[in-house]
Amino acid sequence: MELPRPRIGQSISELSTPLPLIDEEKLAANIARVQRYMDSHGLAFRPHIKTHKIPAIASQQVKAGAKGINCQKITEAEIFATAGFEDLLITFNILGSEKLERLAALNARISGLKVVADSETTVRGLSSAFSQARPLTVLVECDTGGGRCGVQSPEAAIALAETILTAPGLTFGGILTYPKADTEEAVQAFFAATLAGLAVRGIPCPIVSNGGTPSLFSAHKVTSATEHRAGTYVYNDRAMARSGHCSLNDCAMHILATVVSRPTEGRAILDAGSKALTSDLLGFADYGMIVDYPDAVISGLSEEHGTVDLSKVQGRRPEIGEKVRIIPNHTCVVSNLFDVMTFHRDGIVTRLQEVAARGLVW
């Protein structure tokens, strides 16, 4: 069955909804702005592909100056390896014989594969699947306050680095963190103490990797870092605008939706529900911002319906059949819902891109 798709050259105002749209100019400006910042501070930049999941966008990022890319899954890395990328970092503890076998096959194909570990269990597993003939590079993930994965202290980071160094089939590649926003001092302190301990032991630490979009423009304060990773900056979203990273006008992704019902004076129903916007609130009280009606509140979502409270909208209210554009709370999760992404320039469709790494679970 052939699914309906936008055509190149169509006006976005004609397109059927719900549909995420990427503004080419905003996309290019977001890529250029962050790369310029990284270049000016001598920081290597490693975009996280989770936000777009599209090799052609990663190519734009690398062409602008990114040194490599960041994936979260083995199968994502496989897709990007096939598309020609060599410097691939998978920021996940990989466990289990099936996955380790597949990881080893990938490592045999490309020269720049790297993964992370935050426990001896993960390191022993990795070691069991690799050999000195083609070793795997492993970075130690550090919890500098983000509260997700990572060793809890510089001492633990040093100890795990030593375990990696002595584990057959592995190479110690460096240290890494996914920090909370605006905690550059804590990251710097953790990294500096770890690096000092490694130096005392004569252990070289090639990569010192910091990450995150929300306080990306403070990345230079972590003077010990050699590289920064970020994903969301490429499209930006409502949460990034709130964090101060960008303005709402820098959000390259809009969700085009249609008003399908106006049951009451104060209520509109959109054809964009959680299958288009996701339920990610990220601290907001509602599910996205309607650009055309900023006082409207997307107060509830079911899978195919968005319920909009219009009670605070002064003047004209949207009519049945009218199309509106929504800035999503969180852009990365939207990419995972759609098989194809539609790009436009000045409202004219420029290209469609398959979201090649959507829905990958390994």
Which chain residues interact with a copy of itself by CB under 8 A? 1, 3-4, 16-19, 50, 72-73, 75, 78-79, 82, 92-93, 95-96, 98-99, 102, 118-119, 121-122, 125, 143, 147-152, 258, 260-264, 267, 269, 271, 274-276, 278-281, 302-305, 307, 319-321, 332-333, 336-339, 359-362
Nearest to 176 by CA among 86, 90, 50: 90
Long-range contacts of 190-194 (CB under 8 A, 24+ apart): 190/142, 190/144, 190/154, 190/157, 191/142, 191/144, 191/222, 191/224, 191/225, 192/224, 193/154, 194/142, 194/154, 194/157, 194/158
Task: Please state the closest distance from residue 289 (CB atom) to a copy of itself, in A.
Answer: 18
Task: Please state the closest distance from residue 263 (CB atom) to a copy of itself, in A.
Answer: 5
> Could you tell me which residues come within 8 angstroms of residue 166 by beta carbon, excluding any fewer than 6 positions away?
none
Per DSSP bridges, beta strands 44-47 and 227-230 are: parallel
Phi, psi (degrees; rounded to nearest 5) at 216: -55, -40
DSSP letters spanning 202-256: T----EEEEE-STTGGGGGG-TT-SEEEESGGGT--HHHHHHTSS-GGG--EEEE
Q: Quote the tokens at residue 49.
A: 């592909």
Nearest to 146 by CA among 223, 107, 94, 91: 91
Task: Please state the closest distance from residue 275 (CB atom) to a copy of itself, in A.
Answer: 6
Task: Please state the closest distance from residue 249 (CB atom) to a copy of itself, in A.
Answer: 26
Closest CB to a copy of itself among residues 137, 307:
307
* DSSP summary character for residue 336: T
Task: Please state the closest distance from residue 95 (CB atom) to a copy of itself, in A.
Answer: 5
Closest CB to a copy of itself among residues 205, 259:
259
Closest CB to a copy of itself among residues 60, 278:
278
Task: Please state the closest distance from residue 338 (CB atom) to a copy of itself, in A.
Answer: 7
Closest CB to a copy of itself among residues 42, 321:
321
* Crossing angle (nearest 10°) for helices 184-200 and 154-166: 50
Amino acid present at 215: S
Closest CB to a copy of itself among residues 182, 362:
362
Which residues are bridge partners to 210 per DSSP? 228
Closest CB to a copy of itself among residues 150, 173:
150
Closest CB to a copy of itself among residues 38, 325:
325
- Residue tagged 């080893």 (tokens): 104
Task: Please state the closest distance from residue 186 (CB atom) to a copy of itself, in A.
Answer: 16
Q: Quote the tokens at residue 348.
A: 């004219």
Per DSSP bridges, beta strands 44-47 and 340-345 are: unpaired
Closest CB to a copy of itself among residues 29, 56:
56
Task: Please state the closest distance from residue 172 (CB atom) to a copy of itself, in A.
Answer: 19
